Amino acid sequence: MVQATNLGFPRIGAQRETKKQVENFWAGKISEQALDEAAVKLRAENWKLQQAQGLSQIPSGDFSFYDHVLDHSVMFNVIPQRFRHLAIGHERNFAIGRGIQKPATETQPKVDIEAQEMKKWFDTNYHYIVPEFETNQSFHLGAQIKTLDEFNEAKALGIHTRPVVLGPLSFLLLGKTAKNSHGLDLISLLPSLLPVYEELFSKLAEAGADWIQVDEPCLVLDTTPAVIAHYHSAYTRLAAVSPKLKILIATYFGRIGNNVSFIKDVPVAGLHIDLVRAPEQLEHVIANLSQTQVLSLGLVDGRNIWKTNLDNALKIGQAAVKALGSDRVFVAPSCSLLHTPVTLRFEKRLATKHAELFDWLAYSEEKCKEVHVLTQALNNGAESVQAELDANKRSIDARRTSSHTTNSAVRQRLEAIVPDQLRRRSAFPSRQADQHAALPLPAFPTTTIGSFPQTKEIRLARSKFTKGEINEAEYNDFIKKEIAFCVKAQEDLDLDVLVHGEAERNDMVAYFGERLEGYIFSENGWIASYGSRCVRPPIIFGDVHRVNPMTITETVYAQSLTSKPMKGMLTGPVTCLQWSFVRDDIPRSVVCTQLALAIRDEVVDLEKAGIVHIQVDEPAIREGLPLRSVDFDYYLQWAVDAFLLSTTGVKDTTVIHTHMCYSDFQDIFQAIVRMDADVLTIENSKSDMRILSAFEKHGYNAGIGPGVFDIHSPRVPSIQEMKERADAMLQYIPARNLWINPDCGLKTRGWKEVNESLTNLVAVAKALRASA
């Protein structure tokens, strides 16, 4: 019999209960016990919900208050030195995730411990806590073994689950070496790690587990034969732990490719593959299984919110059953459902106001149901679930033929794009001269990245406006006052290129989505981003286009208040794409090009309105990079083309800025050069200067503003400290190209620190000018 299975369920709760309870706990409003009770309740609900949808293999151990990788590190006692003196329990775990600061008391000295690093989980917008390993790292299970405890918790409810753990290779490969352990080869820790996995697995077997899901997502990355040999030896050992325990190695987010080679030679019981991202891999993988191994088919998209085309998925399932027999096939979502919202039950507004579109959607709960329907069809024939299949077909057909998803004018415009639309009129050196002649700026011009503090008052006004407690005119008035305040503040600080401050935006992607055609917004489509933070990505369902200008009013108003240049502020097409749920019926590159045309129109309108500096933010261009290096070029081609399409419709004298807030430019230097922006502002305050020389080596020779202070901290950097940084930058960057600015937007900061930090920043630029 084919089995209906799942790899992981969202842990945030249908109405973000976990987030709320965790934050209550942080605020001291609820006790540790109350927090635990809330989690017990939520886990039970999740298990029962999956059971009710008809799944037979339900995951346990997939819950987390903060991050599952953090929990895994703690379970194996991989706890950096600086946290070890803290009492075991939630407080310590949260400290690892968020750092901890406590003022000194009469009896206790002050506590100030930096959090562990956070990183994007593969190509998702979820962030995990990077394990920190030391030389001679010791691994052992503590008194609380989370995976085992949660398995037993489900068992006590009469639910037999499939425990999920992160596999040993991915655990090590996703980690980093602790500061005191420079030069440590992470894989060298495997021999001391494996016995602890063996111990965990045998405890799970004793407790009655039969299948265990071991996640090895690193198998979809570029790998070397040496690393594959480690997978081979590790799984040979782990599979021998208990005859009762069957290991399912789970891969997702991409194709396993030739990394599959070791699977048939190790006695693991099964392999999960992602057939949404990489449907073409089915045959190759089947050919590389042993005679008995099970294949778990990831047929339901765990990364998006659309209903599965059950007809198509069923065909793939049938091919697998034909090749392997039904006892060797599982049906599953492509990856853990962590990356999709919980349930459509609370989407009241979509259900009533956008009934047509609502019918195209499936969140986690509904996806579990799809897995069940597919499984039934495979086991008992399509007739056994005919009604469900028919209803699905109606939705899929309705979506395919809907007049709301295509717009012929947009399609024609896309067809008509010519190479000249992807090029500035002149090359940068000539533009730089023209720009300087048209609107001279002082040397080492100062600017900010766009947003200024989003104060309580701003959030309150927005919420009143959304609730209808103030009308549009009142709200607009309020925003105008905020803009005026922000412009005045920047004039007082004597910054050179000003911004309007983004008071009217609560989210840099949603703000544009709300003003473009082709988007809808959910009420409850939350997914985990990091820690307790959730995001609610806008949904791109149809051809995207701009009907009206989106930012002209605010920008022009801001410019009217000052004789200094006002920088227009837009979100770039790749970032809009990357941070939305994107339609899957046309290629992402096409959606991105549509977004680019919409932004292009806005850029051109800003120029027409007299705005000379225009910034198009692309903080997400790096995270869209494919997981395999052979796929980089194709992505970077269309992604950079989209940026070019959005920014090159202007005169040479218009200064195009872009901004990226990370410092990992490896693999994308060339692409950044090709973006041909006049000014690039990047995060740099925490990284060393070597990346600046790498920029130079790759031929980058335009304006650049490596951040001189970190906006994530309330700390006010001194003049001297920032001046030293700028001086160091000048070793790599010609003076004429250096801009002085913070790392990123200032929206999370308070005005006091912002004023103090920027006062010092301007002083640094002035000192540089004086000594030039």
Chain residues binding Zn ion by CB under 5 A are 619, 661, 744
What is the C-alpha radius of gyration for the chain, rounded to an integer number of angstroms?
27
Burial class (CB in 10 A: 0-12, 13-18, 19+), 678: buried
Using the rule CB under 6 A, give the single segment among 271-279, 349-357, 691-699, 744-752 that binds ligand GLN: 744-752
From ligand GLN, Zn ion, none, interface partner of 569 (C-beta below 5 to 8 A by class): ligand GLN
For the bound state, the minimum distance from the C-beta of residue 510 to Zn ion, rounded and expressed in Å, comes to: 16
State both tokens at 388: 């469900």
| Pairing mode, strands 111-113 and 100-102 | antiparallel
- The answer on whether 37 is annotated among ligand-binding residues is no
For ligand GLN, which is the closer residue by CB, 531 or 745? 745
Distance separating alpha carbons of residues 307 and 711, to the nearest angstrom: 40
Per the CB < 8 A criterion, the answer to whether 409 and 545 are in contact is: yes
From Zn ion, ligand GLN, none, interface partner of 760 (C-beta below 5 to 8 A by class): none
Q: How many residues are there in the chain? A: 772
| Pairing mode, strands 516-520 and 539-546 | antiparallel
- 745 touches ligand GLN by CB under 6 A: yes
- The answer on whether 592 is annotated among ligand-binding residues is no
The residue within the footprint of ligand GLN, chosen from 168, 573, 619, 707 (CB under 6 A), is 619
From ligand GLN, Zn ion, none, interface partner of 508 (C-beta below 5 to 8 A by class): ligand GLN
From ligand GLN, Zn ion, none, interface partner of 337 (C-beta below 5 to 8 A by class): none
Which of these, 664, 670, 560, 682, lies nearest to 615 by C-alpha position?
A: 682
Place of tokens 């996995």: 197
- The answer on whether 486 is annotated among ligand-binding residues is no
- 276 touches ligand GLN by CB under 6 A: no
For the bound state, the minimum distance from the C-beta of residue 60 to Zn ion, rounded and expressed in Å, comes to: 38
Distance separating alpha carbons of residues 367 and 528, to the nearest angstrom: 17
- 744 touches ligand GLN by CB under 6 A: yes
Using the rule CB under 6 A, give the single segment among 131-139, 352-360, 374-382, 743-751 that binds ligand GLN: 743-751
Q: Across-strand partners of 300? A: 333
Q: Across-strand partners of 681? A: 659, 705
3-state SS assignment for residue 420:
helix
Per the CB < 8 A criterion, the answer to whether 419 and 337 are in contact is: no
Tally of CA atoms within 13 A in the half-sphere of 724 that contains its CB: 6
Q: Across-strand partners of 527? A: 535
x/- mask, ligand GLN, residues 488-507, rule CB under 6 A, reads: --------------x-----
Nearest residue relative to Zn ion (C-beta):
661
From ligand GLN, Zn ion, none, interface partner of 451 (C-beta below 5 to 8 A by class): ligand GLN
Residue 90 CA, distance from chain mean position: 25
- The answer on whether 450 is annotated among ligand-binding residues is yes
- 82 touches ligand GLN by CB under 6 A: no
For ligand GLN, which is the closer residue by CB, 544 or 711? 711
For ligand GLN, which is the closer residue by CB, 569 or 762? 569
For the bound state, the minimum distance from the C-beta of residue 747 to Zn ion, rounded and expressed in Å, comes to: 10
For the bound state, the minimum distance from the C-beta of residue 701 to ligand GLN, rounded and expressed in Å, comes to: 23
Which amino acid does the sequence have at 660?
M
Distance separating alpha carbons of residues 194 and 404, to the nearest angstrom: 54
Per the CB < 8 A criterion, the answer to whether 506 and 458 are in contact is: no
For the bound state, the minimum distance from the C-beta of residue 659 to Zn ion, rounded and expressed in Å, comes to: 6
For the bound state, the minimum distance from the C-beta of residue 515 to ligand GLN, rounded and expressed in Å, comes to: 16
Concerning whether 140 is annotated as a catalytic residue, the answer is no
From ligand GLN, Zn ion, none, interface partner of 747 (C-beta below 5 to 8 A by class): ligand GLN
DSSP sequence for 634-664:
HHHHHHHHHHHHHH-SS-TTSEEEEEE--S-
State both tokens at 535: 């995001």
- The answer on whether 533 is annotated among ligand-binding residues is yes
The residue within the footprint of ligand GLN, chosen from 339, 659, 723, 749 (CB under 6 A), is 659
Using the rule CB under 6 A, give the single segment among 369-377, 399-407, 436-444, 742-750 that binds ligand GLN: 742-750
Distance separating alpha carbons of residues 259 and 220, to the nearest angstrom: 8
- 742 touches ligand GLN by CB under 6 A: no
For the bound state, the minimum distance from the C-beta of residue 543 to ligand GLN, rounded and expressed in Å, comes to: 26
For the bound state, the minimum distance from the C-beta of residue 618 to ligand GLN, rounded and expressed in Å, comes to: 9
- The answer on whether 617 is annotated among ligand-binding residues is yes
Q: Across-strand partners of 682? A: 660, 706
For ligand GLN, which is the closer residue by CB, 275 or 711? 711
Per the CB < 8 A criterion, the answer to whether 550 and 602 are in contact is: yes
x/- mask, ligand GLN, residues 692-721, rule CB under 6 A, reads: ------------------------------
Using the rule CB under 6 A, give the single segment among 127-135, 195-203, 285-293, 740-748 that binds ligand GLN: 740-748
- The answer on whether 317 is annotated among ligand-binding residues is no
For the bound state, the minimum distance from the C-beta of residue 743 to ligand GLN, rounded and expressed in Å, comes to: 9
Per the CB < 8 A criterion, the answer to whether 630 and 680 are in contact is: no
For the bound state, the minimum distance from the C-beta of residue 661 to Zn ion, rounded and expressed in Å, comes to: 3
* 3-class DSSP string for 680-711: EEECCCCCCCHHHHHHHHCCCCCEEEECCCCC
Q: Report the number of secondary-structure helices (H) and strands (E) in the chain.
A: 27, 24
Distance separating alpha carbons of residues 577 and 588, to the nearest angstrom: 8
Nearest residue relative to ligand GLN (C-beta):
745
- The answer on whether 691 is annotated among ligand-binding residues is no
The residue within the footprint of ligand GLN, chosen from 220, 227, 508, 673 (CB under 6 A), is 508
Q: What burial letters (b/e) apply to 608-632, b meaning 16+ CB within 10 Å?
A: eeebbbbbbbbbbbbbbbebeeeeb
H-helix or E-strand spanning residue 113: strand 111-113
Question: H-type helices in 327-449, by residue range?
Answer: 348-353, 355-358, 364-380, 386-401, 408-415, 428-438
Per the CB < 8 A criterion, the answer to whether 246 and 209 are in contact is: no
H-helix or E-strand spanning residue 311: helix 310-324
The residue within the footprint of ligand GLN, chosen from 661, 671, 754, 764 (CB under 6 A), is 661
From Zn ion, ligand GLN, none, interface partner of 537 (C-beta below 5 to 8 A by class): none
The site for ligand GLN, by CB under 6 A, has a size of 13
For the bound state, the minimum distance from the C-beta of residue 117 to Zn ion, rounded and expressed in Å, comes to: 18
Per the CB < 8 A criterion, the answer to whether 272 and 252 are in contact is: yes
Count the Cβ atoms, other than its own, within 10 Å of residue 101: 11
- Of these residues, 90, 404, 545, 712, which one is catalytic? 712
x/- mask, ligand GLN, residues 443-482, rule CB under 6 A, reads: ------xxx-------------------------------
From Zn ion, ligand GLN, none, interface partner of 573 (C-beta below 5 to 8 A by class): none
Distance separating alpha carbons of residues 29 and 585, to the nearest angstrom: 46
x/- mask, ligand GLN, residues 545-584, rule CB under 6 A, reads: ------------------------x---------------
Which of these, 443, 442, 450, lies nearest to 742 by C-alpha position?
A: 450
State both tokens at 756: 């103090």
Binding-site sequence positions for 5-methyltetrahydropteroyltri-L-glutamate:
19, 125, 533-534, 579
Binding-site sequence positions for L-homocysteine:
449-451, 617
Binding-site sequence positions for L-methionine:
449-451, 502, 617
Give catalytic residue positions: 712
Binding-site sequence positions for Zn(2+):
659, 661, 683, 744
Binding-site sequence positions:
19, 125, 449-451, 502, 533-534, 579, 617, 659, 661, 683, 744
Q: Which residues bind ligand GLN (CB under 6 A)?
A: 449-451, 502, 508, 569, 617, 619, 659, 661, 744-745, 747
